[in-house]
Amino acid sequence: MSPKSRLRSYAIVVPVVVLIAALVATVVFPPRPRVGLPGSRGTVPGTGDAAPDENPGGQESGLAAWTASPGSPPLLMRAEDVEKLYGKMKLTAGPDNENVLDDAGRRASVDFVWVEDKACAKGEDPAVHRARFELVVDEPGTYYPWARVWWKDSCGDSLAVSIQHQDDEEPTRWQITDGSHQWWHWLCLAGSGGVELKRGTYAVVVENREDGARLSRILFSRKEYESYMPSSPEG
């Protein structure tokens, strides 16, 4: 066979071999679907909930982790729905994070309860400054509570939340803190087991611990901490 004939044969055979190899690889190693990847924003099909921005439990992210959770809607409490304010606790509004925009594309505002920095007297119990909310639970079960908070600095980065059913003698109380300052973010309130809520009415109280701490939302989700983390102002 002449050199020109060999080149023509190679030109035909090599692309055919490459095409066959590609088809075999597609069958043996199919591409994985890009569903619910960490860091994505959007919704999970069939739930209407925002996809989580993080994967707190280190488990594999994806649709299976969501559909395995109970499908009942979450309970969301907004600061603007506060029933009563005590002491120097106030309801006010201020700018949200830079990436939270209103319908006109401008930086959105957010309502929150707080005690202004250096407003409390020395020696007094900071918990006398508090905000009371009412929560009505129609569907009892295990819930996983979150609070959306903003900390002023290391001297104003904690608060307490308590919840008490109308038939209970003692409330369940949580204290939260972390080191993310001057940025609205969500913190989980309970341990990995969540909290059991009965049917009926609860009093939810936000207590001041350090001046300057803000709270805008409390969310009671039915999704476990390991598979869900709120990513937007509404959960």
Residue 140, in any domain of the structure: yes
Average pLDDT over residues 40-44: 29
* Position 3 pLDDT exceeds 80: no
Of the spans 10-14, 98-102, 120-124, which averages the highest pLDDT? 98-102
* Position 11 pLDDT exceeds 70: no
List Cβ neighbours of 28 (8 Å cut-off, separation of 6 or more).
Answer: none
Residue 58, in any domain of the structure: no
What pLDDT was estimated at residue 130?
97
Q: What is the dihedral of CA 88, 92, 94, 100, to 10 degrees?
A: 120
Average pLDDT over residues 44-56: 35
User: Minimal CA–CA distance to 94: which of 107, 76, 103, 82?
Assistant: 107
Residue 6, in any domain of the structure: no
Confidence of residue 121 (pLDDT cuts 50, 70, 90): confident
Q: Tell me the per-residue pLDDT of 161-197, one tens digit each, with 9 for 90 and over.
A: 999 999 999 999 999 999 999 999 999 999 999 999 9
What is the domain-level CATH number for residue 85?
2.60.120.260
Residue 137, in any domain of the structure: yes
Residue 44, in any domain of the structure: no
Residue 27, in any domain of the structure: no
Mean pLDDT for the chain overall: 79
**Cα 124 → chain centroid:** 33
Which range, of 41-55, 62-76, 162-176, averages the lowest pLDDT?
41-55
What pLDDT was estimated at residue 76?
96
Q: pTM for this structure? A: 0.70
Amino acid at 217: R
* Residue of 135 and 73 predicted with greater confidence: 135
Confidence of residue 19 (pLDDT cuts 50, 70, 90): low
Domain, as residue range, for 146? 73-221
What pLDDT was estimated at residue 199?
97
Residue 149, in any domain of the structure: yes
* Position 111 pLDDT exceeds 80: yes
Which range, of 54-63, 192-201, 222-231, averages the lowest pLDDT?
54-63
Average pLDDT over residues 202-226: 97
The DSSP secondary structure of the chain, one letter per residue, reads --HHHHHHHHHHHHHHHHHHHHHHHHHHSPPPP--S-TT--SB-TTT-PBPPS--TT-PPPSHHHHHTS--SPPEEEEGGG--EEETT-EEEEEE--TT-B-TTSSBPEEEEEE--TT-SPTTS-GGGSEEEEEEEESS-EEEEEEEEEEB-STTS-EEEEEEEETT-SS-EEEEEE-S-BSS-EEEE-S-TT-EEE-SEEEEEEEEESSTT-EEEEEEEESS-TTT----STT-
Residue 87, in any domain of the structure: yes
* Position 49 pLDDT exceeds 90: no
Q: What is the largest CA-CA distance in the chain?
A: 101
User: Based on the structure, what is the number of domains in the chain?
Assistant: 1
